[in-house]
Amino acid sequence: MRKFLNYTLYTSLLMIALTFSSCQTEYEELPGENEQETIMASSSTAQLVEKTVSNDGSFDNIVDGSSCFNVRFPYTVEVNGLELTINEVKDLELIEEIFDALDDDEDILEILFPITITLGDFTEITINGEGDLREWAEKCIEGGDDDDIECIDFVYPITLFTFDINKQQTGNVAVESDMEMRRFFAGLDEEDLISIQFPVTLKLFDGTEIVVDSNAELANAIENAKEACDEDDDNDYNDDDFDEERLDFCLTQCSWLVKEVKRDGTDQTDQYFEYLMNFKEDGSVTVKDREGNNLEGTWSTRASDDGALLKMEFDVLVDFSLEWLVYEIEEHKIKLYAGEGNRIIMQQRCEDDTNPDGLREILKECSWIIKKVVVDNEEIRRLLGYEFQFMPEGIVTLSNGDMVSEGTWEITMNAQERLVMAINIGQEPGVSFEWPIADLKDDRLKFEIPEIDYELILQRVCNDNANDGDVPEIRNVMMGGEWMVAQYSEGDLDETDNYAAYTFAFQAEHMIAVTTGDTGPTLPGLWRVIRNSDGKLKVYLNLGDTDPLGELTEDWDFVSISEDGNRIELKDISGDDESITTLVFEKKQ
């Protein structure tokens, strides 16, 4: 995928970078052990401190293309025509997700000006257009002006003292942040004398802390740490500047699941999807197919001018036997390319610490209600609210309160060595599957294979929520008579008239009788009142998937019951626009 900012920041920066050497280092003369505890504002120690507390602008390089400053939140960008408001660091991930959605498109990012940028000394500058931003970005030379030190940080508060020329103390200040420290130093003249109250604690990039008791120890700690980590100060926001050592570590740390394969321009994903690859430190690689067969090969890495290369050789897996350019390493994902028509994408799968025995016991303790089922990208709404009972000896039942289907279940490892819940209910193929665990909580389970659009979400219900208080009260009110739809609206669209002919009777065993007109016909349905894992009261209605009653099939949020018990309001918030659907029942008089 070719990525660029249409204001050509990257092109400008590249031309500047080629003009200068990126391997320059600055010699720092460190203080001796006997140097006095006061230091000049222009000393090497003071300069190291200033660089350590300078503002790091590299985290938003995907937007501004410069590590010397960052854009102050909030601001708005257009990414491939989609407008986004960036309120926090996490929102920057949305930009990369859009860029990475397709690997062969052209990505364009536009900033909506004016914006405010924060420089290394925390000075803020208003930028009114692309030209102004490019001008500031051109002042940032990788390995040059952007000389902040990010591998070590101060732990605050820290007390600083000022002195006159006779080394008599003239004042003190307690600083609470990098910004306060940096601004303190910015207000000093070169020959001003200062001292730091020791001991001072510093935190390294790996989270460990060290304590220093003198200027000499402080300077040495910073000097030793400043090259100890990858500060990601280049302008490739994906952090693709990995080396051979990092690549080898990533490959051998965990197993890898194959998610996409393209060879000679032909998509081979279906053939190799979820093959499990294990790279070993001795240079061998084992691939396990979906039937559990092991295929052996070799691997090696090397550095090139274009980046790190991974070479794989197999006797059988000829589609994998190439030298691949490692295009991108994301969190738990790696992308390999070999020319335009060859691509492999793999997802890291580390050992799952879920206890199979513990999961089995959790499943057997209570009932589990289906919140959502998606099979092959199709949501099976008719199963909403159905109840699983996972019983000993591998027996499972699935019930809607009227009909019960029986099958088998077990917690096991599939061919890709993933923990799965295998269900087989012949009468209900919609749930018969090996469901890999994606999210495990005591009262909510999620099973998912997002690449092929399979998803199952279950909500635990113990003793039918009988001890909840609110749940039985709502249930009793709903069972206390017949009801009519007084309001059904989707946003501004009122569709209440579609339900004028229907009468709803909420019955025992979670059954609904829906009668058309005064004499019928009467249609069956399913209803439940539960409190979900987020503590919300929910009313599940399952009236099939045929409109107009199918529109009511939903896990509704409970809103209120009127004081006289004759009116119940429910709502549902859904869709990318978070549109609100309102459903109001009123008791039939």
The answer to whether 433 touches 454, Cβ cutoff 8 Å, is yes
Alpha-carbon span 83 to 64, nearest angstrom: 16
346 bridge partner residues:
258, 334
What is the predicted pLDDT for the residue at 449?
82
Distance CA 556, CA 580 (A): 11
Residue 155 DSSP class: P
List, for residues 318-376, the tens digit of each pLDDT value: 999 999 988 777 667 888 988 778 999 998 877 554 567 777 888 888 899 999 999 88
Which residues, in sequence order, are CB contacts of 342 under 8 Å at separation 6+?
Answer: 262, 263, 264, 322, 324
Q: Are 509 and 491 in contact (CB under 8 A)?
A: no
pLDDT by residue (tens digit) across 274-304? 898 999 999 999 998 877 788 999 999 998 8
Encode the chain (589 residues) as per-residue pLDDT tens digits.
Answer: 333 333 333 333 333 333 333 333 333 344 444 344 789 999 999 999 999 999 988 888 889 888 889 999 999 999 988 899 999 988 888 887 787 665 555 678 999 999 999 998 999 999 999 999 988 888 775 433 457 888 899 999 999 999 988 888 999 999 999 999 999 998 999 889 999 999 999 998 778 899 999 999 999 999 988 877 756 555 545 544 556 777 888 888 888 989 899 999 899 998 998 898 999 999 999 998 877 788 999 999 998 877 789 999 999 999 999 999 887 776 678 889 887 789 999 988 775 545 677 778 888 888 999 999 998 888 898 999 999 999 988 999 999 888 899 999 998 887 777 788 999 998 888 899 989 887 777 678 888 887 678 899 999 888 766 667 789 999 999 999 999 999 999 988 999 999 999 999 999 889 999 999 877 788 999 999 998 877 789 999 999 888 899 999 999 999 999 999 999 999 998 866 678 999 999 998 8
CB atoms within 10 A of CB 271: 13
Distance (Å) of CA 60 to CA 71, 118, 161, 228, 276: 7, 12, 35, 22, 34
Residues 6+ apart with CB under 8 A from 195: 37, 38, 39, 160, 161, 163
Residue type, 354: T
Bridge partners, 313 (sequence order)? 298
Q: What is the pLDDT of residue 226?
A: 82
Q: Do residues 102 and 96 lie in contact, with contact meaning Cβ atoms separated by under 8 Å? A: no
The secondary structure element, H or E, covering residue 257 is strand 255-263
User: What are the tokens at 379?
Assistant: 């949501």
* CA trace torsion 65, 48, 186, 150 (10° rounding): 30
Q: Are 394 and 385 in contact (CB under 8 A)?
A: no
How far is the C-alpha of 488 from the C-alpha of 496, rounded, in Å?
A: 5
CA distance 236 to 329: 12
What is the average pLDDT value for the chain, to the nearest integer?
83
Q: List, in sequence order, the alpha helices (H) in 160-303.
A: 178-186, 215-225, 244-253, 269-272
Task: Map tokens 């099973």 to a residue.
Answer: 447
Q: Is the peptide bond before 429 cis (omega within 30 degrees of 0)?
A: no
CA dihedral over 220, 222, 23, 143, signed as positive or negative: negative
At residue 493, the pLDDT reads 92
Record the tokens describing residue 73, joined without a space.
């939140």
Separation in Å, CA 424 to CA 278, 342, 388, 402, 438:
30, 38, 12, 20, 20
Whole-angstrom CA distances from 429 to 44, 293, 423 are: 72, 27, 9
Please tell me the pTM assigned to this model.
0.48
Q: What is the pLDDT of residue 4?
A: 34
